[in-house]
Structure 1
């Protein structure tokens, strides 16, 4: 399955960094990366890998995904189907597999690891992070990190008991889901049946017709949310400056870096991020994997200044798109370098200009059909701004199609400027008949 001459099965030596062949795309021994998921984050990862001479194949469930525009080759398949994913890996014979989405048959990734393929940041890590129950138990019960009060439930009656234990109001989430799918709020015991039904019909396992376990979490007096991008590389673990964010319905809409937080919150955030990533990397090492890559650690900051762990994505984070304008190296460049065994230092994650605040503003388009943008010159006439148009093949409902980036002396100015760029870049939807 792997092209490696000497696959290291279930062994990991942190002192040995692979010297991968880069640059000659005609050579059969070239380093090959397989992206599982080819959205806007995958597109930037592909670009950064290809800049370093890696041959990239971009896979997704639909034709025309953003990373497929730039990769050396691409494939379209259902990555949640074990047979399809196994056939893809056998055909491409990658040295590195980089999951960008969660709907993946992770058992096939385990087979790839056993054959000497590097799964990023690790197969076991991917399995834990896609399961809220395993992740929360690792964070709170094994590592002792602060979290909101929680209970797990495998039936409607257990959900009722769990909700009563944590108190109302509370939030219910399927343990195997993301981006708000299957999530609901319980105001009283009368909402339990409806919340259980939503979790079963709208979560990731709904199509599989199996019972989805859920987590019920107490509402906490949250002031705001942070993302701390954390990088595990051959030289250890470093954290980026915390990123502030605004969400709608569980989806990112704005982010900014540097976040206006006090030093104690910054210290707590870095400590929690380092602890959860260290715990995951230790599990990767025990499984013979490196654990290298970027992690998006999501945190709640309470009104009293305490910081709670929420979740972690074992990949670059959507709120981290701001790093394309804010940091010396973006989260995508950091991911590519870490994956290839390049040491990532504090200098690598430093802000380009600590006196400035940078912001990103998601450009969400509604309608049904193909999307085109106009007035780019007007949008970029504002100084210290940039735009990324993802190139998705269309929209059916609403969809994030581009992102505006801006830099300014204050958070308010940077956010306002990014929003202005987004507004000037006008989108037209060609309605389907």
Structure 2
């Protein structure tokens, strides 16, 4: 079978699913990997592998078996030291093994941003015990935010407003962290006006930015996003300057989701993902080239027309509310009646607060787009078996 490139995708959730579709449109052969069978990207891929990304031997075996042109991580929880070894042996890790290593853990990327690159961040400390959590909160002041250095989709994150809540936040973070390090970051609560994701594309020709994406979170996880987010020219310039510095430092080619807090013209670096971002699902309807298209083009070295523009659009997530091994969906026609689009992720099981799909809407302005998307998401019903 002919193809333009062979891609091994590490992690096969909804972001990997959309990336697989974009890569397949460009003629790639995609092997999707995850810890369970039937993951969303596997349903679109040419082949699949089931193993834990934290199993270094299984990871090395899969890469040796498929001999990919590109290894594309979609999740943080990967045995990144194996990726570094393989990159040294000539395997192309996207965007780079260093990027995967630094961003797998919030402490590593925060230290690079704050200490090496001098980006503006909140005050923070790390903690590996309740005693260190208490000391960290004393340093940052209350309220503060406590979250595992490695987790996904906001799991384990708490906002602490009184000293009496610190122990429960520490326990919650430990119970929801990924990997084998019981370590959290205690950071100053930023009194921001809003937060954004700046999708930043590092190409062989330079760095390109998408219009900023605003988003709203609950339980540390995104619930809705919209693009373009209203920002002052000074704030946009500051965010772009910081984003360019950090992605150039990480190296490689691909799309990065760089998160910032914004207060007036002040911009504060928060986090970074060296891959498509969940809040960027809105680009499936707002941009001619979605974040997944941009990631695929940057990886393959294909042209990206600049500047990238976005029409007013929004996304709203569709959540499960219980555990279930079987489920079906109802209400799609009703949800789409006002012009919204619905994407069902195809996850084989449900659990409380798990993202199962997303509603997308474009309109003449952001307020209307957000309203249409939120109403559409609310009309999709999960029928549990």
TM-score band, normalised by the shorter chain? Answer: over 0.9
Look up the match of 1:410: 365
1:335-357 C-alpha deviation (Å, 9 max, x unpaired): 0010011233424x222xxxx41
Task: Provide the secondary structure at the position in 1 that maps to 2:136.
Answer: helix
Work out the CA distance in 1 between the residues paired with 2:190 and 2:353: 30
Task: Show structure 2 runs of 5+ residues with no match.
Answer: none
Task: Report whether the alignment pairs 1:374 with 2:374.
Answer: no
Look up the match of 1:110: 84
Work out the CA distance in 2 between the residues paired with 1:398 and 1:168: 28
Q: CA deviation at 1:192?
A: 4.0
Task: Show structure 1 runs of 5+ residues with no match.
Answer: 1-22, 282-290
Work out the CA distance in 2 between the residues paired with 1:50 and 1:137: 37
Work out the CA distance in 2 between the residues paired with 1:135 and 1:368: 34
1:114-136 C-alpha deviation (Å, 9 max, x unpaired): 23221111111110011222211
1:172-219 C-alpha deviation (Å, 9 max, x unpaired): 2222233333333343444444443333333224xx4x5x23221111
Look up the match of 1:13: none
For the structure 1 residues 176 and 293, does the alpha-carbon distance in structure 2 shift closer, same or farther, using more than 3 Å as the test? same
Task: Provide the secondary structure at the position in 1 that maps to 2:193.
Answer: strand
Q: CA deviation at 1:67?
A: 0.7
Q: Is the 8 A contact 2:320 2:351 kept in 1?
A: no
The 5 A counterparts of 1:1-400 are 24-25=2-3, 31-205=5-179, 208=180, 210=181, 212-281=182-251, 291-302=252-263, 304-347=264-307, 349-351=308-310, 356-369=311-324, 370-383=326-339, 385-400=340-355
Q: CA deviation at 1:103?
A: 1.3
Q: Could you state the TM-score of these two structures normalised by the residue count of structure 1?
A: 0.84
Aligned residues, how many? Answer: 384
Q: Could you state the TM-score of these two structures normalised by the residue count of structure 2?
A: 0.94
For the structure 1 residues 424 and 184, does the alpha-carbon distance in structure 2 shift closer, same or farther, using more than 3 Å as the test? closer
Q: Is the 8 A contact 2:158 2:219 kept in 1?
A: no
Work out the CA distance in 2 between the residues paired with 1:39 and 1:365: 15
Task: Provide the secondary structure at the position in 2 that maps to 1:382.
Answer: coil
- Which structure is larger by alpha-carbon Rg, 1 or 2? 1
Task: Provide the secondary structure at the position in 1 that maps to 2:338.
Answer: coil
Task: Provide the secondary structure at the position in 2 that maps to 1:397.
Answer: coil
Q: Is the 8 A contact 2:157 2:219 kept in 1?
A: no
